Amino acid sequence: MNGTPADGSAYWNRGDRIRELLRAGETAEAERILLECVEATEREGAVVLPGFRKPLGVAPAYYERLAILYAKQKRYADELAILERYAEQPKAPGVGPKKLKARLAKARARMAKK
């Protein structure tokens, strides 16, 4: 398993830094880190542990944060793309998958109106 982005920090420990960047308006850097976290969770989420039949699944928080960021920037095609990317991944348990499925439906409807 490799849940380590390019800077060597574990992706699950990067939430505070991402929040700091977003508060400071440094959205490009926050987006870069979020995308690294998405890639890391996808690598880790694809792993099937011994004794299990299914992959671990991805952490939804990074996809959700990116979708929110893109929507705030009116980058609706990017919002839809990151939500569709999430939809294609094995899911970790929790409420995240249901929330993001609903958000994906809304994003698709918005894009269909254009």
Interval 77-97: pLDDT, tens: 999 999 999 999 999 888 888
Residue 3's pLDDT is what? 47
Q: Is the pLDDT of residue 49 over 90?
A: no
| Average pLDDT value for the chain | 89
In this prediction the pTM is 0.86
> What mean pLDDT is predicted for residues 94-104?
91
Looking up tokens 């991944």 gives 89
Hey, what domains does the chain have and what are their CATH numbers?
A: 11-113 (1.25.40)
Residue 94's pLDDT is what? 86
Q: What b/e sequence results for 32-58 when a residue is b if at least 16 CB atoms lie within 10 Å of its CB, and e otherwise? A: ebbebbbebbbebbeeeeeeeeebbbb
User: Token pair of 63, please?
Assistant: 């996809």
DSSP SS3 for 58: strand
Q: Are 77 and 111 in contact (CB under 8 A)?
A: yes
Amino acid at 34: L
| Residue 12's pLDDT band (cuts 50, 70, 90) | confident
DSSP type of residue 92: P
**Stronger pLDDT, 70 or 47, i.e. the higher one:** 70
Say how far apart CA 74 and CA 72 lie, in whole Å: 5
How many other CB atoms are there within 10 angstroms of residue 94's CB atom? 12
